[in-house]
Amino acid sequence: MVPDFNNPLTSPFWFAASMSKLVICTCKKCELDIWYPRHVCPKCGLKSTWRQLSGKAKLLSWTTCDHRINPIFNTSFTPAIVIPEDASSVQLVTQLIIEGDQYPRCDMSLRVDFAEINTVKNGNFLAPLFVPA
Ligand SMILES: [Zn+2]
């Protein structure tokens, strides 16, 4: 997902990321996390809000793309699906950064990190990624 700071539905996520904070759309009344974001709660219809997460997560799934599959990204990467510890009904699509002799494994403990993503066409932006905890 490339950030659109003019989209009122997703801009809170990207503004938070630009401050190294991970947030998620939620309904305070229902205590329901809403992902992907929606303007209103699908359960009660009230306006959704955002809440900050701890950044701790577990690895659900991943793959490593050694060849560029999206021309806007200029490096190989490991897209992943993670489950935040404090939003367990949510699956976040993200990137996994693993270096050295570590290998991904299911339920691996992760923590959020923020990195500047360099794109060929759309400039740079700060995005939440996940690394081993
Ligand atoms: Zn609700």
pLDDT tens profile 56-99 = 999 999 998 887 767 766 567 899 999 999 999 999 999 999 98
In a domain, 21, yes or no: yes
In a domain, 65, yes or no: yes
In a domain, 2, yes or no: no
Across the chain, mean pLDDT equals 91
- State the pTM of this model: 0.87
Q: What percent of the chain has pLDDT over 90?
A: 71
Q: Which domain holds residue 117?
A: 11-132
Span from the CA of 8 to the centroid of ligand 1 (angstroms): 19
Span from the CA of 26 to the centroid of ligand 1 (angstroms): 8
Span from the CA of 22 to the centroid of ligand 1 (angstroms): 21
Dihedral sign of CA atoms 116, 122, 128, 132 in order: negative
In a domain, 5, yes or no: no
Q: H/E element holding 18?
A: helix 11-18
Tell me: cis bond preceding 103? Omega within 30 of 0 counts: no
Span from the CA of 4 to the centroid of ligand 1 (angstroms): 25
Task: Tell me how crowded residue 124 is: count the other CB atoms within 10 A of its CB.
Answer: 9
Which residue would you say has higher pLDDT here, 112 or 1? 112
In a domain, 80, yes or no: yes
Asked if residue 1 has pLDDT above 60, the reply is no
Span from the CA of 27 to the centroid of ligand 1 (angstroms): 5
Please answer whether residues 95 and 110 qualify as being in contact, where contact means their C-beta atoms are separated by less than 8 angstroms: no
Span from the CA of 36 to the centroid of ligand 1 (angstroms): 15
Span from the CA of 25 to the centroid of ligand 1 (angstroms): 11
Asked if residue 51 has pLDDT above 70, the reply is yes
In a domain, 6, yes or no: no
The count of structural domains within the chain is: 1
Span from the CA of 52 to the centroid of ligand 1 (angstroms): 18
Span from the CA of 109 to the centroid of ligand 1 (angstroms): 30
Span from the CA of 84 to the centroid of ligand 1 (angstroms): 20
In a domain, 4, yes or no: no
In a domain, 3, yes or no: no
